[in-house]
Structure 1
């Protein structure tokens, strides 16, 4: 199965400029958000208006419609943000039966009006060639697997094709931006240039940047005019609950640092700034080493070629361009369901430690003048809703209100995180011991 997007020219459609918006970019806004403005979904009213808000969905998987494995579900957040204005004009996915099934579930619920006219299309070409002017989308949510996007190559250049065929459309793109081979890293930056040149709104789904705890950390740094000295990140996944064979195969997922650890590499960059990629060093514990043997893998790893099996531990260090130091350790080690994740940020006199950001974030802050930690808890915070809410607010920002929150991850910024994760993987592979197949009896 693959996502193939062969495009024919589109005639007609709205003008390149969204008539509900001004022409200036949101880049002039701050790179952080007042945490008091990040409202929970149940305390936020939907965006008012009599007009329809047409959205095109790319991908019918878990990130778009949810799963028991995690809190992601973009359709659910859009339904609450836009209310009865939401109209999903099409769902593009080559797995048309799965797409039809999730739409059927939506049409049997209270959000029927958003999906009752949604068309299932096997590829973007089918939607473009059959689209009416009334179906022209205002935004597109790109949730297809990263191996099928983030490139300039035909069949994997969905972002570029959307820019060509839908002038003025806003893009929300899932992360990581791609999981292609390292040789194609430069292509992702070419996509970033195309998006930036278009002037279109674009947000990438690094939702942890939208946590209230993260924005409180940012505010502490800004108010006290601090210079970050070090970031220390740790990501330990519960591998026993990961049942996707592709995740265990580097040739398909690009490995756990790129596919999963990307969130904490991104948060590290969000606080530490630009990374000097030439300084990245890393080591790994591999599956074939004695300490790397795991007893709770739920897939048959023997079906994966030995060179494509993932490392159990990856530990990396680097220098930021500011001179600060960053470290990141990714662990495939825990059983059960819950992950264990922490990020520490150090500045002169300050230690800020973010714990358990995916479920119930807790922030510990030690400040000058006291050896005691202050503890802040953020129950029921929903960064998935916050990132969608900010995205829609920027589209609807008719007068370019300076109080409208900025989107926190551009496509180019996401490419730099992607570059860092690739640098970590390559450095760890360079330093590892070579695999020696067992001798034949």
Structure 2
């Protein structure tokens, strides 16, 4: 049976609240599938507040995300969701009703629904104080210091010291609000709050094996090459196709692979980011399977069909990322390649059936290592809860792999890619206009 670590251990590096030269990692053998674990022991209730009643929190047919399901398995009968915060009261009430009709009724039978966190605080009994808050609200409503979009600062104000789990990306607001993100990161770090951001691909066993190979062989990464090709046919949310609402696919969707690139390559020299895009009004950018009416979106806010970016890391290594809106049906096609002297590490299909292809010195063949039924969503939640609980077993057993500050840096990179591609497009349009003007002058 695991024992609890004294409270002063909570200041350790396991929390991942700050950045260091060596990015945190976990022995891949410690990432155990959810169906091979039992719920965490103890007799006391574990109070949780869920902010957001959407798909990320309660699941959907579109993907494997469903935080509530992982919490139920990790905490078992100890889980008590004391509040569900969502302005859409009817939706929140509906998902709670489904939970209360299932075998996990004990976690939700006393859950109350509130429109805002402030409403919950005003009506909270002492016994309802949370041990953890999970933020799964849309990114456009968080990650800033603006009232109504400052949920992280509200949590720090009302519940100092209470652990936070925050979904990615940390925001999808205007570029100038990135500075707010760094201020929030500092406030979280200064308060010694346990905080994890949901870049779940870092918790893949395949990703941690890549880290293990690099560390055990004392390798220096030379380049990262990432590709994210999404299947757009089922993308039925108009907001996703509107840059003014979603901030665009690189920021909202490609963020996972920009984050993985940083995880292996290190910090990016933002001044070196260069990018080009294929736009909706170019011949190759016309799509045949769109399920929304793009004509209702202002032309300047329509998303690019492809974006290709390159940059330099502070280490001298180079990175590249390509995001593509092209595939039909439902399955995406995503890959990340990491190169070091003598080594090629290639992660394929991380969302569905992760496979790692490894080429080492002395062997020109790629060797495939498959990871069936890996669940990084559970691993990230499980590690975060272990740190909250201060499980004694081994100080290396649980690590937070993405701090808030780290997530802000990924957000900054994705914005830099978008801006670089928009500058390239503007320059091309201006060059075309200048050429047309010059030709007109010649024929006048």
Counterpart of 2:264 in 1: which secondary structure? helix
The match for 1:22 among 2, 5, 8 is: 8
Residues 1:103 and 1:380: Cα distance change in structure 2 (over 3 Å): same
Q: Report what 1:118 is aligned to.
A: 111
Find out whether 1:183 has 2:176 as its counterpart: yes
Alignment of 1:85-164 (within 5 A): 85-164=78-157
Q: Report what 1:439 is aligned to.
A: none
Counterpart of 2:272 in 1: which secondary structure? strand
Residues 1:101 and 1:128: Cα distance change in structure 2 (over 3 Å): same
For 2:118 and 2:261, locate their aligned partners in 1 and report how far apart those are by CA, in whole Å.
39
Q: Report what 2:437 is aligned to.
A: none
8 Å CA contact 1:172, 1:202 repeated in 2: yes
How many residues are matched? 420
The match for 1:172 among 149, 161, 165 is: 165
Q: Report what 1:340 is aligned to.
A: 333
For 1:91 and 1:28, locate their aligned partners in 2 and report how far apart those are by CA, in whole Å.
28
Q: Report what 1:351 is aligned to.
A: 344
For 1:36 and 1:415, locate their aligned partners in 2 and report how far apart those are by CA, in whole Å.
29
8 Å CA contact 2:5, 2:392 repeated in 1: no
Counterpart of 1:152 in 2: which secondary structure? coil
In the alignment, structure 2 segments of 5+ residues that lack a partner are 16-22, 433-444
For 2:11 and 2:263, locate their aligned partners in 1 and report how far apart those are by CA, in whole Å.
21
Deviations 1:352-400 (A, max 9, x none): 0000000000000000001111110000000000000001000001559
Deviations 1:292-317 (A, max 9, x none): 11111101101111110000000000
For 1:26 and 1:434, locate their aligned partners in 2 and report how far apart those are by CA, in whole Å.
52
The match for 1:258 among 251, 260, 264 is: 251
For 1:198 and 1:400, locate their aligned partners in 2 and report how far apart those are by CA, in whole Å.
26
For 1:359 and 1:84, locate their aligned partners in 2 and report how far apart those are by CA, in whole Å.
30
Residues 1:66 and 1:368: Cα distance change in structure 2 (over 3 Å): same
TM-score by length of 1: 0.93
Find out whether 1:315 has 2:301 as its counterpart: no
For 1:28 and 1:103, locate their aligned partners in 2 and report how far apart those are by CA, in whole Å.
33
For 1:83 and 1:22, locate their aligned partners in 2 and report how far apart those are by CA, in whole Å.
27
Residues 1:252 and 1:398: Cα distance change in structure 2 (over 3 Å): same
Shift of residue 168, structure 1, vs aligned partner: 1.3
8 Å CA contact 2:14, 2:387 repeated in 1: no
For 1:84 and 1:364, locate their aligned partners in 2 and report how far apart those are by CA, in whole Å.
40
Deviations 1:122-148 (A, max 9, x none): 111110000000000000000000000
8 Å CA contact 1:22, 1:398 repeated in 2: no
Find out whether 1:387 has 2:373 as its counterpart: no
Find out whether 1:54 has 2:47 as its counterpart: yes
Shift of residue 198, structure 1, vs aligned partner: 0.7
Counterpart of 2:62 in 1: which secondary structure? coil
Structure holding more helix per residue: 2
Find out whether 1:78 has 2:64 as its counterpart: no
For 1:20 and 1:153, locate their aligned partners in 2 and report how far apart those are by CA, in whole Å.
37
Q: Report what 2:438 is aligned to.
A: none
For 1:156 and 1:210, locate their aligned partners in 2 and report how far apart those are by CA, in whole Å.
28
For 1:410 and 1:280, locate their aligned partners in 2 and report how far apart those are by CA, in whole Å.
23
Alignment of 1:316-331 (within 5 A): 316-331=309-324
Counterpart of 1:22 in 2: which secondary structure? helix
The match for 1:371 among 353, 364, 367 is: 364
Find out whether 1:293 has 2:286 as its counterpart: yes
Shift of residue 25, structure 1, vs aligned partner: 2.0
Q: Report what 2:215 is aligned to.
A: 222
Find out whether 1:237 has 2:230 as its counterpart: yes
Shift of residue 183, structure 1, vs aligned partner: 1.2
Counterpart of 1:102 in 2: which secondary structure? helix
Deviations 1:230-284 (A, max 9, x none): 0000000001111111000000000000000000000000000000000000000
Aligned residues: CA RMSD = 1.6
Shift of residue 84, structure 1, vs aligned partner: 0.2
